[in-house]
Amino acid sequence: MINLLKKRILLGISGSIAVYKIFELIRCLKKKQAIVRIVMTRASKKLVNKLSLQILSNCRVFDDIFYTNNSNIMHIKLAKWADLILLAPATANIIAKIALGLADDLLSTICLTTQAKIIIVPSMNNYMYRSVVTQHNIKILRNRNILIWGPSFGRQICGDTGLGSMLSPNIIIKKLVQYFSTPLKNFNIIITAGPTHELIDPVRFISSYSSGKMGFSIAYVAASLGANITLISGPVNLSTPPGNIKRINVISALEMKQAVMNNINNQNIFIGCAAVSDYRISNFSSNKIAKKDNLIINLIKNPDIILEVSQLTKNRPYVVGFSAETNFIKENARKKLIEKKLNLICANNVSKNRFYNMNNNYNELYLIWNNGEMLLSLNKKQVLAKQLMKQIIIRYEKDNKY
């Protein structure tokens, strides 16, 4: 049985009526052999007895920001002790505090101090959860790579029905087990996806048929494996996949390059899946160009984003490229692999009779690296994304970077 053996979990309890679920959650954590410490807010003590929690968890329950032990400052000690901080139930109040960086009690001070992963399990009335300010705070937290689990949909204590209920202890435990067993936990990955639009005038542009589906599928799979994802996307009609994904929308190749370089520090893996336009207009017209019998447009070369990433001398990530080809698929891809000094390249055939590869749900990929290659046969892009991430992890391990 998979367990949480010796995982140090700090359980932060705030003042939601869902606090009654905490007894079952603590029991499940102890059964999975986790080491639990509990921190309570003042409001939570109105709803649950501190002594009961202390007896059930078989450990001290902390609630005083000014408590010290042998000169140890408790919020510092607990912040360093935890492998993970789990806020369950998490009220709108504690969510707002963490989003704003407030530190007016022990729990919020620990969250501001810790380097451990923070996971928030919201619990509140559905109108409170769906309010603009709460959603804004949640967006801030997600952008900081804080995980948000839930809430679930259901009938609430107040009689309303909707999103806002705390996840069940069993679901939380399953998610914790998955979190601690994911191969890319604490990995940072940048993924570029979709096309770029190079403007000719305010109503016309040069682009490709790329839909972004392959890149978004990779982002979803990588996030499900525990990675922190920065998804830099050109113009696409796709929703952000669920998971720990920070999305940055761009239009042009220059904007995509800027977004990549602004976020490239401390990245473990870079996956350049976007179909970046090779050229842009030399002189963009701020006014719509009148229709003519013949129109001559001067093009200049766009920066090669993946080449610039692969040439980094400090904190260079593992670099995965994509190569869309119409002939000599593997030969052209291997040439790019060598010239751009990539770790891995994924080549696909986009010739006319295989047009669906660019904007449909299926694809076929040749994976090529310095001393090998393999074929990922025609399949749904979601399936290919799983197969691809598995191979990236294997290749990463063999390069002694995992």
Query: For 181-200, what is each residue's pLDDT tens digit?
Result: 878 888 999 999 999 999 99
- Residue intervals of the chain classified under CATH 3.40.50.1950 are 8-181
pLDDT at 1: 42
Q: For the residues 247-259, what does the mean pLDDT come to?
A: 97
- Residue intervals of the chain classified under CATH 3.40.50.10300 are 188-398
Strands 269-272 and 188-193: parallel
Q: For the residues 82-97, what does the mean pLDDT come to?
A: 96
First to last CA, the chain: 26
Percent with pLDDT over 90 in the chain: 72
CATH fold label, 188-398: Rossmann fold (3.40.50)
Q: For the residues 271-286, what does the mean pLDDT come to?
A: 93
Instruction: Check: CB of residue 85 under 8 Å from CB of residue 179.
Output: no
Q: What are 306-340's pLDDT values in tens digits?
A: 999 999 999 899 999 999 888 899 999 999 999 99
Radius of gyration of the chain (CA): 25
DSSP character at residue 173? H
pLDDT category at 29 given cuts 50, 70, 90 is: very high
Is the predicted pLDDT of residue 402 greater than 50, yes or no? no
Catalytic residue among 111, 158, 273, 346: 158
Q: For the residues 198-221, what does the mean pLDDT come to?
A: 94
| Tokens 């197969």, residue located | 387
Is residue 59 flagged as an active site residue? no
Q: What is the CATH number of domain 8-181?
A: 3.40.50.1950
Residue 338 neighbours by CB distance under 10 Å: 12
Report CA-CA distances (Å) from 11 to 20, 55, 150, 201.
14, 15, 17, 55
Among positive and negative, which fits the CA dihedral 232, 238, 244, 246?
Answer: positive
